[in-house]
């Protein structure tokens, strides 16, 4: 029995907190608030067309193959080990870039509370990247039980608390008869976007990026009590929380701030400052800032062992070199986690030496989404194929509607992933560089990120072959020695 299997199991409530820490955050509310009333349509559309397919597919696959490894196990079963490694690599490498950007938001939020000038200090940013990620790494080295209670604290104080306070403040603002600063009429023109506009399409893709990541928690499915029953329950609850917070939390911002004036990075603090100053409690705004930072740290903490569990499964299957297979007594892949921390540290150092951080940030975020979408494309295709390849595997939860239902659900997720990937090559409106330079960065970056896992896998196979040959040589030498001893024994008699 592996150390992971021997570890104490976690309940559904703890797993809800771990999953919520991965995908639920108040940091995206300023972005989802900017369209005003259209946020209702865009959130529900992103949930229906991408979040629901991801949640349903992940629930079926995780309960059919309830062992650590997540997307690697699923794709390996469908298309083989090589493509399984490519899928989990893309899921993992996007996290290296994406988590760096989230820690930068944590740093900016803390700087707002301590000294706003620090937000533009690259060395402060680097220090925060190193402190937060290495701190979360040390916590995760203690195993999934520690991850559970840390996630519970961070999500409770850093997501639910500021989210609830923001929503209550918005309701109190409206009931108090204060002026509504954004058009909240329920007219078609005010609620339904025009999808012929490229800007609106780009905005919609932003909403899809908000709901990404639901499948990551499946990497820890073996740690859940009664996983076949509790995993689907957990992701349904988290999905409801995500949609509710996105719609109602966004409304709490745009009712008090004109949507044209909502800052992408500081929108939450704009709202809290406005509300608390109005009610004579300006000191509460920094408290909420620290609370938000805590929630983001919880989100970062929950990603430390997410995709890397998939890499651990590839290492344990022999697809990666032997030195990457080391785990501690808690079942945590120590070598992989340390390599991950070093990689994120290097990205942090890179940020400090890039002259135009804003443009690099936009390009990096575009590449992050593009790389992640490759993993989704493979996952949705694998879900369909496994219905035909492995119909014998018991699935305690199945996507409704039989094979046709799977085609519709996974097909919807696949098409949305393709659309999002296409739009990822188009620079956002606030990007100040050239469109061609942005396009080439995404294209070259995607090619490099696709080539690397094939090279790493090929090296792992060579190392596996070398290890097998060594074992054969050792076995042959042992047999030869035994044969010599037998001959000597026979000659003596």
**Tens digit of pLDDT for each residue in 27-63?**
788 888 888 888 888 888 888 899 889 988 988 888 8
Does residue 10 sit in helix, strand or coil? strand
The per-residue pLDDT for range 267-280, each reduced to its tens digit, is: 788 888 899 998 88
Helix (H, G, I), strand (E, B) or coil at 271: helix
Calculate the dihedral angle through the C-alpha atoms of 330, 160, 296, 356, rounding to the nearest 10 degrees: 160
- Measured CA to CA, the distance from residue 257 to residue 180 in angstroms comes to 8
> How many helices (H) and strands (E) would you count in the chain?
20, 0
Say if CB 328 and CB 77 are below 8 A apart: no
> Among 76-85, 111-120, 477-486, which range has the highest average pLDDT?
76-85
Q: What pLDDT is attached to residue 430?
A: 59
Please determine, for residue 2, whether its predicted confidence score (pLDDT) is greater than 60. Answer: no
Q: Which tokens sit at 257?
A: 């701030």
What three-state secondary structure class fits 192? coil
How far CA 2 is from CA of 64, 222, 322, 323, 349, in Å, comes to 20, 11, 17, 17, 37
What 451-459 contacts at long range (C-beta under 8 Å, 24+ apart), as own/partner pairs, is 452/89, 452/93, 453/85, 453/86, 453/89, 453/90, 454/82, 454/86, 456/85, 456/89, 456/320, 457/81, 457/82, 457/85, 457/86, 457/319, 457/320, 459/321
State the average pLDDT over residues 478-488: 72
Of 161, 167, 159, 303, nearest to 238 by C-alpha is 159
**What pLDDT, in 10s, does the model give residues 405-461?**
999 999 999 999 998 888 888 876 656 777 788 888 889 989 988 898 888 888 777
Place of tokens 């409530």: 13
Residue 324 pLDDT greater than 90, yes or no: no
Angle between the N-to-C axes of helices 144-155 and 12-23, in degrees from 0 to 180, rounded to the nearest 10: 70
E strands along 33-190, which residues? Answer: none
Calculate the alpha carbon distances from 239 to 19, 74, 152, 301 in Å. 10, 22, 17, 20
Separation between Cα atoms, residue 154 and residue 131, nearest integer Å? 17
């Amino acid at each position: 029995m592996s150390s992971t299997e021997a570890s104490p199991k976690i309940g559904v409530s703890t797993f809800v907190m771990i999953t919520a820490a991965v995908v639920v955050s108040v940091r995206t509310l300023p972005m989802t608030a900017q369209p005003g009333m259209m946020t209702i349509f865009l959130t529900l559309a992103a949930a229906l067309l991408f979040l629901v397919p991801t949640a349903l597919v992940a629930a079926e696959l995780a309960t059919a193959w309830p062992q650590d490894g997540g997307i690697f196990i699923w794709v390996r079963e469908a298309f083989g080990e090589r493509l399984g490694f490519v899928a989990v690599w893309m899921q993992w490498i996007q996290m290296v870039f994406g988590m760096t950007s989230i820690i930068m938001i944590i740093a900016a939020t803390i700087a707002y509370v301590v000294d706003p000038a620090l937000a533009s200090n690259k060395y402060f940013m680097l220090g925060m990247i190193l402190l937060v990620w290495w701190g979360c790494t040390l916590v995760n080295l203690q195993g999934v039980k520690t991850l559970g209670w840390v996630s519970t604290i961070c999500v409770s104080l850093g997501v639910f608390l500021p989210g609830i306070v923001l929503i209550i403040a918005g309701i109190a603002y409206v009931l108090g008869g204060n002026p509504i600063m954004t058009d909240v009429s329920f007219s078609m023109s005010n609620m339904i976007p025009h999808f012929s506009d490229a800007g609106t399409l780009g905005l919609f893709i932003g909403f899809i990026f908000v709901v990404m990541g639901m499948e990551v928690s499946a990497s820890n499915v073996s740690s859940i009590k009664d996983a076949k029953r509790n995993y689907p329950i957990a992701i349904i609850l988290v999905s409801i929380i995500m949609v509710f917070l996105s719609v109602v939390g966004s409304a709490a911002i745009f009712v008090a701030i004109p949507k044209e004036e909502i800052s992408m990075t500081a929108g939450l603090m704009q709202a809290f400052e406005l509300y608390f100053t109005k009610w004579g409690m300006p000191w509460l705004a920094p408290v909420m800032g620290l609370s938000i930072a805590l929630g983001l740290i919880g989100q970062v903490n929950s990603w430390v062992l997410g995709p890397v569990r998939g890499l651990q499964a590839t290492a344990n299957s022999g697809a990666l070199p032997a030195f990457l297979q080391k785990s501690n007594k808690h079942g945590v892949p120590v070598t992989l986690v340390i390599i991950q921390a070093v990689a994120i540290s290097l990205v942090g150092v890179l940020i400090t030496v890039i002259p135009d951080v804003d443009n690099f940030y936009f390009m990096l975020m575009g590449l992050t989404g593009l790389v992640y979408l490759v993993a989704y494309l493979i996952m949705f295709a694998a879900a369909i194929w496994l219905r035909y390849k492995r119909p014998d595997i018991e699935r305690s939860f199945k996507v409704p509607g039989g094979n046709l239902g799977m085609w519709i659900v996974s097909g919807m997720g696949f098409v949305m992933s393709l659309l999002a990937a296409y739009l990822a090559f188009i620079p956002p409106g606030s990007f100040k560089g050239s469109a061609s330079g942005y396009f080439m960065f995404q294209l070259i970056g995607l090619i490099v990120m696709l080539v690397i896992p094939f090279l790493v896998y090929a090296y792992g196979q060579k190392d596996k072959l070398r290890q097998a040959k060594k074992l054969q040589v050792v076995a042959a030498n042992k047999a030869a020695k035994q044969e010599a001893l037998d001959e000597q024994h026979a000659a003596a008699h």
